[in-house]
Structure 1
Amino acid sequence: MIDLRSDTVTVPSEDMRRAMSTAAVGDDVFHDDPTVNRLEAMMAEMAGKEAALFVPSGTMSNLVALLAHCQRGEEYIVGQGYHTYLYEAGGAPVLGSVVPQPIAVEQDGTLDFAKIEAVIKKDDYHFARSKLLCLENTHNGKVISLEYMKSAYEFAQSKKLSVHLDGARAFNAITELGCELHELTQYADSVSICLSKGLGAPVGSVLCGSEELIKWARRWRKMVGGGMRQAGILAAAGIYALQNNVKRLAEDHRHAKQLAQRLQGIEELSINQDLVQTNMLFVKTRMDTAESLAKFLKDKGITIIPAETMRWVMHLNISDKDVDYIEEQVKVFFA
């Protein structure tokens, strides 16, 4: 089955499984799992941060970051369509009494500084205290430039806001930007990075930040049930992914751009080529067409989620031949 639903559907390679099976382990809640400690040290160094924390998921990584940055009654400013507001079940307000202040996301995935400034609260006990700015890179497959990240960080500092970056696909971002991870993450006080998306690990994300922030995030991780024991088995997959699956992300980007270009001539589909920047293409069509297409492709061994705007995601389990086959079957449907 060729699965285009997400890059979270990847299956560990035999080499990754071997690394997991031979990992040295300990009790990570006591902070003595050597493989987890190695992964955290690797990620902290790559991100240019003092410390890091391995957690089960990107949702938990963002959650413990928000709770470490903000106290009860404080506010984080965030894009309306960012994961830290829309797709993580309202964890920060529900579990931490942290108030979200969403604003519209611009077409390129950024937040407009004037719109941010308009919602920053003055220091008045009638209001939640504005504490944190949350950014996302990549956003819907779009890469946010280093120039914007730098300007946003400087803007936030001028307004006495900290910055958290949801960098779930930060390695996709730096692949397209042609830079090192620390060159991107220097413009955030904390960053959450997923290992279980394009990098192909089965489980896990890493939060990077200052020693003080990670200390508090570790406490929150325990409280929300993320303290794992012999987690080195999982961390080993993350280490393998960092050592072997970063450079190949360029293949996923190439596949997405190739498929978008090849389907451009189909009248019933609309694909904005300019928005295909990393491993995702967004395909617009009528809902009834999407449903019929999804059913047809399922019978041909291809899985998509039908919607008026469909997200098709490339990943390490999709080959050049798979891209050719997807193109062929979509064109057969519309022939």
Structure 2
Amino acid sequence: MIIDFRSDTVTRPTQGMLEAMMKANVGDDVFGEDEAVNALEAFAAGIFGMEAGIFCASGTMTNQIAIKCHTQPADEVICEGQSHIYQYEGGGIAFNSGCQVKLIDGNRGRITADEISAVINPSDIHKPPSRLVSLENTSNRGGGSCYDIREIEKIRELCNREKLQLHLDGARLFNALVARNETPEAYGRLFDSISICLSKGLGAPVGSILLGKKECIHKARRIRKILGGGMRQAGYLAAAGLYALQHHVTRLSEDHGHAQQIAETLQVQDFVKSMMPVETNIIIFEVNPPYTALLLTQKLKEHGVLVYAISPTRIRMVLHLGITPAMVNTTCAVVAGLQLDESGINTGFEGQV
């Protein structure tokens, strides 16, 4: 048996999701005639209280479309230094939008209104206009950390005063909503655009949605077309996304509980130096020297447990609907009984999903 914690992108559709996909009423989405896509976009926009939505192939695409919608070339985007839009989207901010980035060294992927205020550029021909603030909730490299919505409210007020747009990379937003017992409507009131991923913790095979005002989403459709993202009978995928939103949100608390259970076992092992606070479904821990992340990854793989080395010394584990309670118990037993051999230690590491 393989127990895969590398990412929550490795899930397979559930039986109910597969049935929904097979029953989808599809058409040509570029013509706006795919009923399943239209239903998904309307449902997602409705639960957030936003005007419209657009279904895209990935979260990278929805983020990059949003950035282009909100900016002009030579503008500046403000975000935290570990943000997915900066770290893992292939330089898309520069390539697609011609913008530069102002990075803030925040707290586990989160930034404050005061930190943003301190880096907004003055009106000066030597400096790019600060145009967009992008937040990430939960923060991937922050170990699944969640924003305090009161801080987001302060950031919204700042953006209003400074005439800045505010985007949310909400790839794992529903994990934050469940963990903090918050509502989508509260977030819909605060952001100019929100990207939500359907293929991570929610378990759909493909896709993300960008939400915003009608004018923004109308512009987004043109940008999606330019990027080659116009899909045809996409309703089979959209039906999976709609099923996920309707059936897989509340169960995210199970993943959070499983993460806590594994974290408690890891924390008492001598090969764990430190661990980020576990708030949702992501565990990130530092390996104690002389061991390395690669060595520990290899040893766990020998026992059928797959994890991800995100640096020479850090490992990430992500819980998802494909992980059962029995798998969690097995993982805890493997971790508790692991015997590490210092031979073959090196500093290599893998990439990140």
Equivalent position amino acid for 2:251 in 1: R
Structure 1: distance between partners of 2:290 and 2:17:
39
> Counterpart in 2 of 1:313?
318
Equivalent position amino acid for 2:325 in 1: D
Structure 2 CA distance for partners of 1:271 and 1:320, relative to 1, 3 Å: farther
1:149 aligns with 2:152: yes
Superposition CA RMSD, Å: 1.5
> Counterpart in 1 of 2:275?
272
Is the contact made by 2:30 and 2:232 (CA closer than 8 Å) also made in structure 1?
Answer: yes
Structure 1: distance between partners of 2:112 and 2:186:
22
Gaps of 5+ in 2: 341-353
2:204 is matched with which residue: 176, 179, 201? 201
Equivalent position amino acid for 2:119 in 1: V
Structure 2: distance between partners of 1:206 and 1:60:
9
Equivalent position amino acid for 2:195 in 1: S
Instruction: Tell me the CA shift for residue 321 of structure 1.
Output: 0.9
Equivalent position amino acid for 1:118 in 2: A
> Counterpart in 2 of 1:232?
235
What's the % identity of the aligned pairs?
43
Structure 2 CA distance for partners of 1:265 and 1:288, relative to 1, 3 Å: closer
Instruction: Tell me the CA shift for residue 54 of structure 1.
Output: 0.4
Q: Deviations over 1:283-325 (max 9, x none)?
A: 2104744323222221221111234111110000001111111
Alignment length (residue pairs)? 333
> Counterpart in 1 of 2:337?
332
Structure 2 CA distance for partners of 1:81 and 1:289, relative to 1, 3 Å: closer
SS in 2 for 1:214: helix
TM-score, scaled to structure 1: 0.96
- Give the alignment of 1:146-295 within 5 angstroms: 146-272=149-275, 275-285=277-287, 286=289, 288-295=291-298
1:86 aligns with 2:91: no
> Counterpart in 2 of 1:27?
28
Instruction: Tell me the CA shift for residue 271 of structure 1.
Output: 4.2
Structure 2 CA distance for partners of 1:237 and 1:4, relative to 1, 3 Å: same
Is the contact made by 1:284 and 1:310 (CA closer than 8 Å) also made in structure 2?
Answer: yes
Q: Deviations over 1:111-137 (max 9, x none)?
A: 133332232122233221111111111
Structure 1: distance between partners of 2:73 and 2:17:
41
Is the contact made by 2:80 and 2:106 (CA closer than 8 Å) also made in structure 1?
Answer: yes
Structure 2: distance between partners of 1:289 and 1:86:
23
TM-score, scaled to structure 2: 0.91
> Counterpart in 1 of 2:345?
none
SS in 1 for 2:202: coil
Is the contact made by 1:266 and 1:334 (CA closer than 8 Å) also made in structure 2?
Answer: no
